[in-house]
Amino acid sequence: MDEDKVINHRYQIQAELGKGGYGQVFKVLDLVKRFDVALKIDINSKGSVLQEAKILKELQGGEGIPKLYDTGKTPTSTYMVIQILGPSLSLSLKTMGSYNINTVTLIMLQAISRIEYVHSKGYIHRDIKPQQFLIGPQSTLYLVDFGIAKKFIIDNCHISFQSQCSRVGSCSYASINSHIGIRLSRRDDFESLVYMGIFLIRKFLPWFQDKRLDDNRKWSNAFQIKRDISEQDLFHSCPKQFAIMLSYIRSLKFEERPDYEYLRELINSIRNELSLTSTVLGLNFVSRKPYTVIVKKNEDELKKLMDSSHEEMKSHNKRRPKKSRTLIGHNKNNDLSDKFLKIPTMKESRYSISGNVSGSSTKPITQNEETIRNIYPEFTNRKKLFNSYNSFKSQFRSNSICKT
């Protein structure tokens, strides 16, 4: 059999499923077990895929965690073989045109549980975004890509607070902490998740930028917008609970355990307010564009084919007629506008999000969280936010309509 297409005499490459900064993922046929699997191969030959496989091994057994079947080496690279899954939320959103609020809340509930599970195993994901949630069998969302996941509990101790760290994650979904060089902890996975929730509703984040800009520029522009944007602009068309969620997340201390149940309650309160009862995610596991089948190609041709399949995928998404999109909150038959964000201005809001970061330095020069909180007093006015959160929480929990 052709060496170019069969890895280690066992995995026959059939199509490319995706490509990221670290790995290239193929649909392959396992010639021994005779079923399709996904094979992620290291692009940089730095062994990062094996590191990821090590983490994935520790996470095995959790709901929505891809099964790890095998790991191996080729003469030039390393790879892992995992369960094959469907399209990512980002691809599925493009092809579907938009998600209804029922779907978004169900996605958020599943995503909270995935993150909670990863945290329960001592890891933070550090790159939460729609591209990392893949649709699996039985409408289960799978969390993938543990390439930059990190242990936050070592020898039963939480990792220590650090500033002046390099940025981590993807610019569009990175938390403010990542922008200002604060070491990431559990809270940051959820800040990214709130941004993801906004994206799923708006199909847009206010800091999306021209892809051609260089990375430093993108990161610094995105930081400024994340820092300065008003609640109204950020959460436009979103349920007010998203704003409360961000406010709560940003009030958490570095080592603090997020209240996962509270986060779920917030999402469930959206469902209760809107009387959303359907538990059908409405996303199709197999609804992705048919894979490009690769036949008898040498390596160069294979590469070309993969590049063109990328382009094809892009233009396919462009060509696809967009379904008419009902703006949430402006539905003629069921006017939900009061349920969605017409939230008060920052001054009026009891549960205000972080407020603005004063000062423009993106490089805090201190080593201590309290000092940093003094530098960014409004942004990190934890006491104020914590009080708001606590009073909200007690009201919220005593309110029967919010209970499921």
Q: Known catalytic residues?
A: 127
From 25, 245, 263, 328, residue interacting with ligand ATP (rule: CB under 6 A): 25
What is the rounded CA–CA span in Å between residue 370 and residue 377?
A: 10
Minimum distance from residue 390 beta carbon to ligand ATP (Å):
37
23 binds ligand ATP (CB under 6 A): yes
Minimum distance from residue 160 beta carbon to ligand ATP (Å):
26
Minimum distance from residue 52 beta carbon to ligand ATP (Å):
7
340 close to 238: Cβ distance less than 8 angstroms: yes
Per DSSP (E only), the strands in 66-218 are 68-73, 78-82, 123-124, 133-135, 141-143, 150-151, 153-154, 157-158
18 binds ligand ATP (CB under 6 A): yes
199 close to 118: Cβ distance less than 8 angstroms: no
88 binds ligand ATP (CB under 6 A): yes
Give the residue at shortest CB distance from ligand ATP: 20
Nearer to ligand ATP, 131 or 381 (CB): 131
The stretch among 14-22, 109-117, 184-192, 342-350 that binds ligand ATP (CB under 6 A) is 14-22
Nearer to ligand ATP, 65 or 357 (CB): 65
Task: Taking the CA atoms of 269, 193, 86 and 57 in sequence, report the sign of the dihedral they define.
Answer: negative
> 125: left (phi > 0), else alpha (psi -120 to 50), else beta?
alpha
The stretch among 77-85, 157-165, 354-362, 383-391 that binds ligand ATP (CB under 6 A) is 77-85
21 binds ligand ATP (CB under 6 A): yes
Element (H, E) at 194: helix 186-202
85 binds ligand ATP (CB under 6 A): yes
Minimum distance from residue 320 beta carbon to ligand ATP (Å):
17
Minimum distance from residue 392 beta carbon to ligand ATP (Å):
34
From 66, 72, 329, 364, residue interacting with ligand ATP (rule: CB under 6 A): 66
Residue 40 counted as an annotated binding residue: yes
Minimum distance from residue 91 beta carbon to ligand ATP (Å):
7
CA distances from 27 to 36, 40, 316 (A): 7, 9, 20
From 81, 84, 89, 200, residue interacting with ligand ATP (rule: CB under 6 A): 84
Q: Which string of x and - marks every residue 117-146 that binds ligand ATP (by CB under 6 A)? A: ----------x---x--x---------xx-
307 close to 301: Cβ distance less than 8 angstroms: no
181 binds ligand ATP (CB under 6 A): no
DSSP-derived secondary structure for 33-66? TTEEEEEEEESSSSSHHHHHHHHHHHHTTSTT-P
147 binds ligand ATP (CB under 6 A): yes
177 binds ligand ATP (CB under 6 A): no
The stretch among 7-15, 81-89, 297-305, 310-318 that binds ligand ATP (CB under 6 A) is 81-89
CA distances from 131 to 15, 231, 290, 297 (A): 18, 25, 18, 29
Task: Taking the CA atoms of 391, 126, 122 and 376 in sequence, report the sign of the dihedral they define.
Answer: negative
What is the rounded CA–CA span in Å between residue 37 and residue 31?
A: 10
Q: Give strand pairing partners of 7.
A: 11
Token pair for residue 214?
A: 């260089």
241 close to 269: Cβ distance less than 8 angstroms: yes
What is the rounded CA–CA span in Å between residue 308 and residue 320?
A: 18
Alpha carbon of residue 403 to chain centroid: 26
Which residue ranges are tagged as binding site for ATP? 40
Chain positions contacting ligand ATP, by CB under 6 A? 17-18, 20-23, 25, 38, 40, 66, 82-85, 88, 127, 131, 134, 144-145, 147
